[in-house]
A and B are shown apart, each in its own frame.
Chain A
Amino acid sequence: MRLRHSLIVQFLGLVLGMQLLASAAVANDLEEYQVKAAFLYNFIAFTQWPDDIDQTLNICIYGEDHFGQEIDKLQAKSVDNNNIKISRLTSLEKSKECHALFISKSAIDNLPNILASVQGEPVLTIADSPEAAKKGVIINMNLAQNKINFEVNLESAHSAKLNISSKLLQLATEVYQ
């Protein structure tokens, strides 16, 4: 009888454990920055630079990196036969060498200096801070009802001599002229 009881207890424990494991595995949603990394890839694919890209397209991140490995996965991809290289900038000295410059939330207070450092250069500036497009960033991502959308500052794109595809402009929630 004792043996049977202990068997039952072990069985119940096993069942409970399996249930816990199962419910934990289901709770795997896509995180904000996984999706934002995919957006970044699309922004680049829908942008034309004035000069031909010499084999490597540089994507730079300035400020705190929320992407982690998600953005590094883009390096396995290519855009128009160009490789993608991800760099994390610690200063603005080399910001001109970036084709795309993601400005993190942590660095947004420094936005005037960041934009000045790439003034007149063909650098696609991207951010995810409120009002950033209005303040001169070319593409800015926002969250609405847990979904990501974006706005485009066409004037900034023109002064950077970048051609943003009409497809991007159509999907943008706002286009600043």
Chain B
Amino acid sequence: MMIPSISKSLLVTLIAVMVSACISNIASAAGVYGNAEQVNTNTLIDLSLEELMNIEVTTVSRRSQKVSEVAAAVFVITQDDIRRSGATSV
């Protein structure tokens, strides 16, 4: 079950790419979230009527949900699953 050295370095690169993509993803998400939160509490009231009339709103039936309420397609791949798959690299 030795991972060949070429695929090992590939694996490291792949993980590095995923992590960095993820960090930038979270950073931008935090930015958007922060803005929306600010808009909610302060700025919305200060907007002009023209600006308010241009905002697209979500209606009650399809409002944003909490993470805990969202159905997620996430499952756990155990160490055993990977071993039994016979794969030696990602």
Tell me the A residues contacting B by CB distance below 8 Å: 1-2, 4-6, 8-9, 11-13, 15-35, 37-39, 41-42, 46, 66, 70, 73-74, 77, 143, 145-149, 167-168, 171
Contact = CB atoms under 8 A, between A and B. Distances in A.
22 contacts: A1-B1, A18-B22, A18-B26, A21-B26, A24-B67, A25-B32, A28-B32, A28-B64, A29-B63, A30-B56, A32-B57, A32-B59, A33-B60, A35-B44, A35-B55, A35-B57, A66-B60, A143-B57, A145-B56, A146-B56, A146-B58, A167-B49
B45 A20 contact: no
B53 A149 contact: yes
Q: Most B CB atoms within 10 A — which of A4, A28, A146? A: A28
A143 B48 CA distance: 18
Contacts of A42: 48-49, 52
Interface residues of B, number: 51
Contacts of B54: 147
B45 A73 contact: yes
Contacts of A1: 1-3
A34 B77 contact: no
Nearest to B54: A147
Contact of B41 (A8, A73, A145): A73
Contact of A148 (B57, B67, B79): B57
Interface in B22-73: 22-23, 25-26, 28-30, 32-33, 36-37, 39-41, 44-45, 47-50, 52-60, 63-67, 70, 72
A125 B52 CA distance: 20
B77 A31 contact: no
Interface of B: 1-3, 11, 15, 18-19, 22-23, 25-26, 28-30, 32-33, 36-37, 39-41, 44-45, 47-50, 52-60, 63-67, 70, 72, 74, 76-79, 82-83, 90
Contacts of A12: 77
A13 to B, nearest CB: 7
